[in-house]
Amino acid sequence: MDKLNETMLEFAGFRKADIKERHYFLMGERHAKWYNPNSYSPGKPPDFLHSLDACFKWLVKDTWEVSFFTEGVCIIVDKETRKFSRGVDTIKAIALCLAIENMINQKGE
């Protein structure tokens, strides 16, 4: 699941700090490996897999319509491109992230 959260961070515009940038804060905050797209200093990134608020703030685009259904199903419909994506998990935030990951993979095709 760490890979999924990392994919979501990159999609949201966060930039991973390289080893030279990380050396000065490795003694302190070990989680500070990502630069916020709105900041010049690294910090704790959002945990998209456990926060729907973070998902809607950073990941969900204005043209997307997001729906949740029973059994942990999340459907995203892009109103511009008419593409849709689905994610399934008992945790809604993970289901949404899986649907977003599928949407990202569709754009690469």
pLDDT at position 21? 55
Choice among 42-46, 60-64, 80-84, 93-97 with the minimum mean pLDDT: 42-46
Mean pLDDT in the chain? 85
State the pLDDT confidence band at 70, using cuts at 50, 70 and 90. Answer: confident
Q: Quick check: 17 pLDDT over 90?
A: no
CA proximity to 15, closest of 39, 40, 41, 35: 35
Selected residue with higher pLDDT from 12 and 38 = 12
Whole-structure pTM over 0.85, yes or no?
A: no
